[in-house]
Amino acid sequence: MTTMPVNAGFLFAVALHLQPGLGFSAPRAGLTFAVAAVGFGGVGLTRRRLPVSWRPWLPAAGLLIAAGSFGGLGLALRAGGDGGAALYVCLLTLGGGLGLGFSPAFTLALFAVAPQDAADASGLQLIGVAALGTLFANRLDLPGVHPSAHAFAVVAAALTAVCAAGAAVAPGRGRRRA
């Protein structure tokens, strides 16, 4: 279930960077996020067409793709610019990676969570927002750097590490449950 808090925390932190940090309007920031949604939706609609033998490995592969995309986003946005084309390429691949990782993990989680515990399971998203939002906010007061860009680079590094760690444990979890 790594993808739920990762995605929620990412959306919160990047919105803070794009809007107050870079001065994007709300519509422009929303349309920027749409690129990741296209990747997520495209993978979500087509992943069932992949060979069945690949399916246990999709969450790990998706998290590795997401880790690389978060690293790319951190690099693209670290100097305080808008990231140019790299921003959109990273968002598209990030959406695809999260789409590969999210759907199978979410299905397993819903199967394993009792109905009375569903609200607790959905609270995972809040953990991502709280943890990554706090990490972002605590990096805004550094002198000599673009505060928002530096804060987002730190968050992107944390997201890269979380996705890589999630990918490391995902294959074993898929084999045990299969």
pLDDT of 133 reads 84
Quick one: tokens of 145?
A: 């750097």
10 SS3 class: helix
Closest by CA to 138, choosing from 162, 154, 158, 126, is: 154
pLDDT of 164 reads 92
What is the b/e burial string over 92-122, where b = at least 16 CB atoms within 10 angstroms of the residue's CB? Answer: bbbbbbbbbbbbbbeeeeeeeeeeeeeeebe
What number of helices (H) and strands (E) belong to the chain? 7, 0
pTM (two decimals)? 0.84
pLDDT along the chain (178 residues), means of 10: 80 90 93 93 89 87 94 92 94 94 70 73 77 86 77 92 89 50
Domain ranges across the chain: 39-47+54-177
pLDDT of 176 reads 47
For residues 38 and 92, the answer to whether their CB atoms sit within 8 Å is yes
Would you report the helix, strand and coil content of the chain in percent, each value rounded to 5? 85, 0, 15
pLDDT of 1 reads 59
